[in-house]
Amino acid sequence: MSYRFSRCEYCHLLRWCLYACAALFLLTGTLLFASREILPPADQIAFESDQNGNWDIYLLDMRTNIVRNLSQNPADDYAPTWSPDGTSLIFYADHNGDLRAELHILNLETMETQTFGEQTRDYRRAGWSPDGLQLVYTIGYGQMQLINREGVVVPLGYGFSPRWSPDGSWIMYYADSQDSLNAEIYALNPAEGRLLNLTRNAANDWSPAWSPDGTTIAFVTSRDGNAELYLMQNCLIVTGSCDRNLRRLTNNPGNDSSPSWSPDSRMLVYETLQGENSDLFLIDIETLQSRPLYATDANERSPAWRP
């Protein structure tokens, strides 16, 4: 015989269901709020990894911990860099098999890839200007070039890992310009022809990264015996060295490198060598608290925070 609820019992059951739904809603909201307190507004990081046997470009969503292989190519894909609007990634790879890498622009909305570069050149790390209308990149061993929206190519000299300042006035890079086994960090103003040495140190300094607010520069240095992350204040209004405004971020026995800023300029993602493999870590630049972000039995390198 089936049981039928009385009107009173039905109202009582409905009331408890509403209480349960409200409690679940509040709990979910609390957890989401807590997660927003832990993580900055943007929540995705591109990086390169060899977890599938060759180097591919991956995307990590920090809120869901979902990782996607974006390039899935039998050739090795390296050094992802975001477009200013966060819709595309540019990376370099030898997809033609001619031992010369091309630049590839991947649109994440359509998942279509556009190849950039001359067949006879060997391209390396590239980056967009803040307005998205120009590219700066390296050909061969350190020959930097700039190309504008009209397709005009401008030689910039010798250097590696070029990056635009947030206001679009300067291009920062590192180079051993004196051929003395001492890499320094430089800033070039192409419009004015000004070139500044920002570090001037006997140790090697490399992999500079502008903070999105334009006030600070993160970089890697060997002045402590191994690769560590440092900060220096933006001092491009003067012609002297920025080396007097340093702040050390990491202090690890392994090498820390490849810093990339969160969009709010409060955190960095970087790669650190843990044993034989490189993993991704986060660090809060105010508290200097760091924690693992993503690690596998393979290598994760060259992280790039989505704008």
**pLDDT digits 0-9 by tens, 20-79:** 444 444 333 433 333 333 344 469 999 999 999 999 999 999 999 999 999 999 999 999
pLDDT at residue number 11: 47
Compute how many other C-beta atoms are within 10 angstroms of the C-beta atom of residue 109.
Answer: 7
pLDDT at residue number 116: 87
pLDDT at residue number 118: 84
pLDDT at residue number 86: 95
pTM (two decimals): 0.83
- According to DSSP, the residues that pair with 102 across neighbouring strands are 93
Strands of the 77-82 sheet, one edge to the other: 77-82, 88-93, 102-107, 112-116
pLDDT at residue number 124: 95
pLDDT at residue number 241: 57
pLDDT at residue number 109: 92
pLDDT at residue number 168: 94
Which of 49, 51, 69, 74 is CA-nearest to residue 59?
69
Q: Which residues of the chain have pLDDT under 70?
A: 1-42, 236-244
pLDDT at residue number 132: 94
SS3 string, the chain, reads CCCCCCHHHHHHHHHHHHHHHHHHHHHHHHHHHHHHHHCCCCCEEEEEECCCCCCEEEEEECCCCEEEECCCCCCCEEEEEECCCCCEEEEEECCCCCCCCEEEEEECCCCEEEEECCCCCCEEEEEECCCCCCEEEEECCCEEEEECCCCCEEEEEECEEEEECCCCCCEEEEECCCCCCCCEEEEEECCCCEEEECCCCCCCEEEEEECCCCCEEEEEECCCCCCEEEEEECCCCCCCCCHHHEEECCCCCCCEEEEEECCCCCEEEEEEEECCEEEEEEEECCCCCEEEEECCCCCEEEEEECC
- Integer angstrom CA distances of residue 65 from 2, 57, 143, 189, 300: 47, 16, 38, 40, 15
